[in-house]
Amino acid sequence: MTLKPSSFLTSSVSALSGTVSNLNHELLEYVNPEKPTHDHSSVYYQRFYISTFNLDDRAIEAKFSSPMVVTNGDRVTVSGYSKGNRFQVLAYANQTRQVSQHENWIVLGLGAIFFLAVALGLLNSELVAEGALVPKLFLLGFVGVAIYMGYRALLVREAISLLQG
C-alpha cells in the first residue's frame, strides 16, 4: 500500500502566487557555546536565512539554510502552511528568475528512520524491559522526534508537489 502525502495533508499545505513587496532578508546565527574563542571556522555556526515579505496582500515568512533568491517585484509561487498571521514557506518557485528551492525532505526522512531505529534498539534493551523510567522517557522522546521528522518530510514533499502540479 502506497501512502501519498496528499491523502491526509491537503488541508495542511497550500500554494499561493503573487508579486513580492516589502521584502526583508535577515540572517540568524547560532554559535556553539563550547567553540574555542580563537577558532573562526563556520563549522561552529548554524545559519538560517529568514525572508519576510508580502505576496500581494498576504504576510509570508521563509526560513532556509541558504538565502532566498527573490527581490521586490518578482512573481513568486510559495507552498507551505499558515501559522498565526503569517504563511510559512516550505518550498517556492520564482517565475521571474526561474529559481526554485525547498527544504531537504530526504534528509528529514532519513533522520526520522534513524531516530526510529534508535528507539527500536532502546525498546529491545533490558533497562526498558525492567521498567526503568529514564529509558522509557528516552524511548518516548526518540519516537516523538521520529514522528515529527517524518511528518515534516511529508509536508515538504507535498509542498514540492504543489509547485510542480
Q: What is the pLDDT of residues 87-122, one digit of tens each?
A: 999 999 999 999 999 988 999 999 999 999 998 888
Angle between helices 105-123 and 133-164 (to 10 degrees): 160
* Cα→Cα distances 162→63, 78, 92, 157, Å: 19, 9, 10, 9
Return the pLDDT at 103: 87
Say what the pTM is: 0.77
**Per-residue pLDDT reduced to its tens digit, 4-58:** 444 455 558 899 999 999 999 998 877 666 666 666 665 666 778 999 999 988 9
Beta carbons within 10 angstroms of residue 52's beta carbon: 15
Q: Please give the grid coordinates belonging to residue 30.
A: 547560532
CA 108 – CA 65 distance, rounded (Å)? 14
Q: What are phi and psi of 99, to 5 degrees?
A: -130, 140
Residue 76 has pLDDT above 50, yes or no: yes
Return the pLDDT at 5: 45
Helix (H) or strand (E) holding 143: helix 133-164
What contacts 23, CB < 8 A, 6 or more positions away?
A: 51, 52, 53, 70, 71, 72
Return the pLDDT at 138: 87
The one-letter code for the residue type at 137 is: L
Beta carbons within 10 angstroms of residue 86's beta carbon: 14
Return the pLDDT at 112: 96
Return the pLDDT at 65: 85
The one-letter code for the residue type at 154 is: L
Q: 1: pLDDT confidence band, cut at 50, 70 and 90? A: very low
